[in-house]
């Protein structure tokens, strides 16, 4: 990995520079139709056109459709530090982090909400299940023999498939929900089944005060990504935050993951 400066990253060749400065108009309305178009009808529908024998081949094709081969160079972040490295190296760091932290809080059963077609589930062994909004991703996940259920964060009854003694985790899924209140309220109705919840999620972090941190918050706003996951958890009287590391890793430095582990007080 090669260290780079923020000036190397946010220069005039990066379209996000002009967007963040307000020179180029940009704003999304992240409603259910936006998610339907961006993921179900575009990203996952395209993957269904292929018939690969392994989930790894689908993941590689997903990156290729985004313009990235395994040898391509990309900019990632650890906290405030930026690096240029290959897609292959990035993936190794990213999925190792997910597996290590989820295993640390693993219960008998494991459930990922917003699991796509199940790639993160493939990092683990038995007693795994997932829920996913995009019907094309559900179809692909079931084709690959993963227990992927149709799931909508906004529908209370969709959480019923969570089994007792479960660790729930999410990876860049709640980012699609601007207000996390509905998710926490629906999870609370399942609290007797849930041991831990582990998030790898971008969100607004009120305590950010560096230039990069402020731009990360602005990026969330312009994309209409999640604004309040951390504040909702902190203010909930029946939730204990077990571990939190902000901006632990960024596949894209402006959209970096925060690690948040919590549980319901019993």
Q: Please state, in angstroms and rounded to a whole number, the distance separating the CA atoms of residues 10 and 211.
A: 11
pLDDT score recorded for residue 115: 96
- The total of structural domains in the chain comes to 1
Domain extent for 45: 2-264
For the stretch 145-160, pLDDT in tens is: 999 999 999 999 999 9
Contact 205, 246 (CB under 8 A): yes
Q: pLDDT band at residue 34, thresholds of 50, 70 and 90?
A: confident
The answer to pTM > 0.85 is: yes
Q: Please state, in angstroms and rounded to a whole number, the distance separating the CA atoms of residues 117 and 173.
A: 13
Give yes or no for residue 2 having a pLDDT over 90: yes
| Cα 22 to the center of its chain, rounded Å | 26
Give percent of the chain above pLDDT 90.
89
Residue 175 is part of a domain; what is its CATH number? 3.40.50.150
For the stretch 51-94, pLDDT in tens is: 999 999 999 999 998 888 889 999 999 999 999 999 999 999 99
pLDDT score recorded for residue 41: 80
For the stretch 165-196, pLDDT in tens is: 999 999 999 999 999 999 999 999 999 999 99
Strands 109-113 vs 128-132: parallel, antiparallel or unpaired: parallel
pLDDT score recorded for residue 76: 97
Mean pLDDT of the chain: 95
Q: pLDDT band at residue 218, thresholds of 50, 70 and 90?
A: very high
């Amino acid at each position: 990995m090669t260290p780079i400066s923020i000036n190397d990253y946010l220069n005039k060749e990066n379209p996000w520079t002009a967007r963040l400065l307000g020179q180029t108009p940009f704003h999304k309305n992240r409603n259910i139709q936006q998610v339907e178009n961006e993921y179900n009808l575009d990203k996952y529908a395209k993957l269904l056109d292929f018939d690969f024998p392994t989930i790894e081949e689908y993941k590689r094709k997903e990156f290729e459709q985004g313009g990235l081969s395994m040898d391509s160079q990309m900019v990632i972040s650890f906290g405030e530090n930026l690096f240029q490295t290959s897609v292959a190296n990035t993936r190794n760091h990213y999925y190792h982090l997910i597996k290590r932290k989820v295993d640390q809080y693993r219960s008998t059963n494991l459930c990922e909400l917003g699991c796509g077609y199940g790639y993160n589930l493939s990092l683990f062994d038995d007693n795994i299940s997932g829920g996913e909004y995009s019907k094309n991703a559900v179809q692909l996940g079931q084709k690959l023999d993963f227990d992927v259920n149709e799931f909508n964060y906004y529908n209370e009854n969709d959480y019923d498939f969570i089994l007792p003694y479960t660790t729930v985790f999410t990876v860049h899924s709640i980012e699609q929900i601007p207000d996390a209140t509905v998710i926490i309220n629906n999870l609370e109705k399942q609290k007797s089944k849930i041991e831990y919840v582990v998030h790898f999620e971008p969100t607004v972090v009120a305590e950010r005060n560096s230039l990069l941190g402020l731009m990360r918050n602005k990026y969330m706003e312009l994309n209409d990504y999640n604004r309040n996951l951390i504040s909702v958890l902190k203010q909930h009287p029946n939730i204990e935050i077990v571990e939190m590391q902000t901006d632990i890793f960024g596949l894209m430095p402006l959209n970096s993951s925060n690690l948040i582990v919590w549980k319901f007080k019993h």
